[in-house]
Structure 1
Amino acid sequence: MKKKIIVSQHDYDILKTLCYHSPGSEKLREELDRAVIRKGKVPDEVVQVNSTLQFKDERTGAVRSVQLVLPAASNIQLGKLSILSPIGTALLGYSAGDVIDWEVPAGKTKLHILRVDQAEMAVKKEA
């Protein structure tokens, strides 16, 4: 059984709506269905929409720093990873230190979340 993920009520509402209007969002729907929804503050080490994080793909050894964003803001050259991408969906709701088994287009992999930074979240919520 997979570990429960944590999603803020705010992110949950946005992502649930996104699922109804986006083809290819089945995996995200599945993740949201098993999520623990937090009405209050989500711990800082949990990956949320707009979190900046660093993770390692254990299959390839590649370490990447990305910001998890909604599809309209995605730009992989700028490190902005869509929540609807296979890796974006995989990372949502997990915490720094977690290792996730996930199916990506290249096959099964393990994603190890090395660090999560909520600085981008604070800026966005104040605006």
Structure 2
Amino acid sequence: MTATKTKGRRPAITIARSEHARLSNLADMLAERDPHAAEQLAAELDRAKVVDDARMAPGVMRIGSTAEFQIDEEAPQTAELVFPKDADISRQRISVLTPVGAALLGLSAGQSIEWAARDGRVRRLQVIAVHAGAPDTARAS
């Protein structure tokens, strides 16, 4: 996820060490099949502050967490962040490999991020709340 620099720096994000390792492997495995998604995820992982799992603060968006968020001026929505094989939009489960999923990764309530969509439009995602879920770092695809 490459955020635009139109309104300043990208927000600080935090990722648990075990989750960072799993997501890095996922990005590497995906590089040839879907380079755009792999690049978005890798960019977020590269800029993340990586902390030991036990030191991960509550309220940080991670795999298995559910976020309430708003994109641009659309109605707020809720979704759980999951690995690609667990994604199911009808159950509000969004893959970390989607632009929205990669944008949510590591953010906390009150943070926002901007990025250029594939159509060139600048999109803005604002996190309203994060609800902890059981982290699911055992599955990486």
TM-score under structure 2 length normalisation: 0.80
Gaps in structure 2 of 5+ consecutive residues: 1-8
In the alignment, what sits opposite 2:47?
Answer: 34
Residue 9 (structure 1) aligned with residue 23 (structure 2): no
Higher RCO (C-alpha 8 Å, min separation 6): 2
- Is the CA contact (8 Å cut-off) linking 2:24 and 2:45 kept in structure 1? yes
Extract structure 1 runs of 4+ deviating beyond 4 A: none
Distance in 1 (alpha carbons) for counterparts of 2:43 and 2:128: 24
C-alpha displacement at 1:8, in angstroms?
0.2
Distance in 1 (alpha carbons) for counterparts of 2:127 and 2:40: 19
Q: Superposition RMSD on alpha carbons, in Å? A: 1.6
In the alignment, what sits opposite 2:68?
Answer: 54
Distance in 2 (alpha carbons) for counterparts of 1:42 and 1:2: 20
In the alignment, what sits opposite 1:20?
Answer: 28
TM-score under structure 1 length normalisation: 0.88
C-alpha displacement at 1:4, in angstroms?
2.5
- Is the CA contact (8 Å cut-off) linking 1:75 and 1:81 kept in structure 2? yes
Distance in 2 (alpha carbons) for counterparts of 1:7 and 1:48: 7
Work out the percentage of aligned pairs sharing the same amino acid.
28
Distance in 1 (alpha carbons) for counterparts of 2:27 and 2:38: 5
How many residues align? The count is 122
